[in-house]
Structure 1
Amino acid sequence: MSKKKKEKGKLKEKMKEAKDKEKRYFLIDYENVHMAGLAGVEELTKNDKVFIFYSQNADSLNFEVMKLISTTKARVEYIKVDTQGKNALDFQLSSYIGYLLGQDEGCECYIVSNDKGYVNVQIFWFKLGQKVKLIPNIRERRIATVKQQDIIDVIMTVSILNDAEKTQASDLVWKHMKTGSPHLAHIKVGINNDLVHALGGEKTKAIFNAIRPLMK
């Protein structure tokens, strides 16, 4: 095995170990995302915890849902919202985030929903230095947790680039990744367009091959 392949392997292993140690909470707005929001639950670790908020408007946790949940190592808790009202579930889920952040300093909270109203919750906690992200399904957490140094470390292994191009590529990729957009496809398109314009198709392909583990 070449030295570069060994370095890439060690980097991937190091990143995986770091992510496995993180305390992460996933609050599922099941009324909004249903089973689709649980995509990626099988990838979670024993350090993760999933809270499924559901109401009488969406209380059918069917066999397929339970089968999917059974594949995860994460702890799962079901919270039924009995209170009536248009936004009762949203309010209780948002309040629960404050409870979790108060109980477990340094944790990361993910709101799993397509409801853009939660963006206000994300912004509120961001201003207070807390890690709260809005994602459409659990699998999309990967794009939300990537750090700038992760990108730099990976792109530095792309031998086809010179030092100036590595710096340029790292900046362009981070520009899109740091937005926190819940849509991975949009981020990929933006990165691809900028890289092709700046560095050409061949180098863009090499960069995407390198950063792919960060975007799965």
Structure 2
Amino acid sequence: MLKNYVLVDYENVQPLAESLDEVADEQFSVFVFVGNSQNRLSYDFVSSFQRLRGGGEYIKISGNGKNALDFHIACYLGVLAMKDPKAYFHVVSKDTGYDPLLEHLREKTIRVKRVAAIEGIPVVKFRKEISKMNPRQKGEKFLARLRKGNASRPASEQAMRSALRAFYQRQLSDEEFEQVLRFVKNSEFVSIADGKVAYAE
């Protein structure tokens, strides 16, 4: 599973404690950049931060220079991207001044995005979307993707399993994954024989 690094500009955005619950599992590492004059963090926020299973760190800025915190985030972003270039990076800030740097990094194939809140992180939004769907609805969503004329269709049952996991970004439990796969395999659009997949036209 690819890692998601969340870099929070705490001078610009103060996430609610409950928003950290959205990034509490091992898939996420959270870095909170705190300004030199910010001497208090709420108990609820700190308590939620301590429950992060994927790791996290507070970075307290020592100076008061203009854009000092922004430069710290830019530095950490570069270091993390060098260490884990295939990961996803999310800068949580309403400051559009980051955008030219992030655009440059995307040109270098670094997967980075600025969001105004933790809830805006794409995988967090995707989780919320699919959490409202039952296995049948998830299967129908995957089948709709396969029915598109330009879609790459798996040719084997093993490839079908891999494609389904990738489509749902590995967010399904093993039990639910099997339920969704069973619905797909039993649909009129898909037939599987001897491990090979055929599609109705």
Into which bin does the TM-score normalised by the smaller protein fall?
0.5 to 0.7
Opposite residue 70 of structure 1, the aligned amino acid is Q
Change (3 A) 1:139 1:43: same
Give the equivalent residue in structure 2 for 1:117.
97
Structure that is richer in helix per residue: 1
2:69 partner amino acid: L
Taking the aligned partners of 1:91 and 1:37, their CA distance within structure 2 comes to 25
Is contact 2:31–2:56 with CA below 8 Å preserved after alignment?
yes
* SS of equivalent residue, structure 1 residue 34: coil
Aligned residue pairs: how many? 137
CA 1:38–1:88 in structure 2 vs 1: closer, same or farther (change >3 Å)? farther
SS at the partner of 1:139?
A: helix
Contact 2:9 2:69 (8 Å CA) reproduced: yes
Q: Which one has a bigger Cα radius of gyration?
A: 2
2:58 alignment counterpart: 78
Q: Pairwise CA RMSD of aligned residues?
A: 2.9
Q: Is the CA contact (8 Å cut-off) linking 1:42 and 1:69 kept in structure 2?
A: no
2:78 maps to 1:98: yes
Percent identity over paired residues: 27
Q: Give the TM-score normalised by the residue count of structure 1.
A: 0.55
5+ residue gaps, structure 1: 1-20, 147-152, 168-216
Contact 1:45 1:72 in 2 (8 A): yes
Match of 1:182 in 2: none
Distance 1:79 1:116 in 2: 21
Aligned position for 2:118: 138
Give the TM-score normalised by the residue count of structure 2.
Answer: 0.58
Partner of 1:66 in structure 2? 46
Ranges in structure 2 where 5+ consecutive residues have no aligned partner: 127-138, 150-201
How has the CA–CA distance of structure 1 residues 102 and 128 changed in structure 2, closer, same or farther, with 3 Å as cutoff? same
Matched, 1:108 2:108: no
Which consecutive aligned stretches of 4+ in structure 1 deviate over 4 angstroms post-superposition?
Answer: 143-146
What SS does the aligned partner of 1:59 have?
Answer: coil
Partner of 2:187: none
Counterpart Cα distance in 2 of 1:89 and 1:138:
18
1:25 — aligned with what? Answer: 5
> Which string of whole-angstrom CA distances, capped at 9 and with x for unpartnered residues, describes residues 68-107 of structure 1?
2234322011111102212100011112111111112211
Matching residue of 2:109 = 129
Which secondary structure state, in structure 1, belongs to the residue aligned with residue 104 of structure 2?
helix
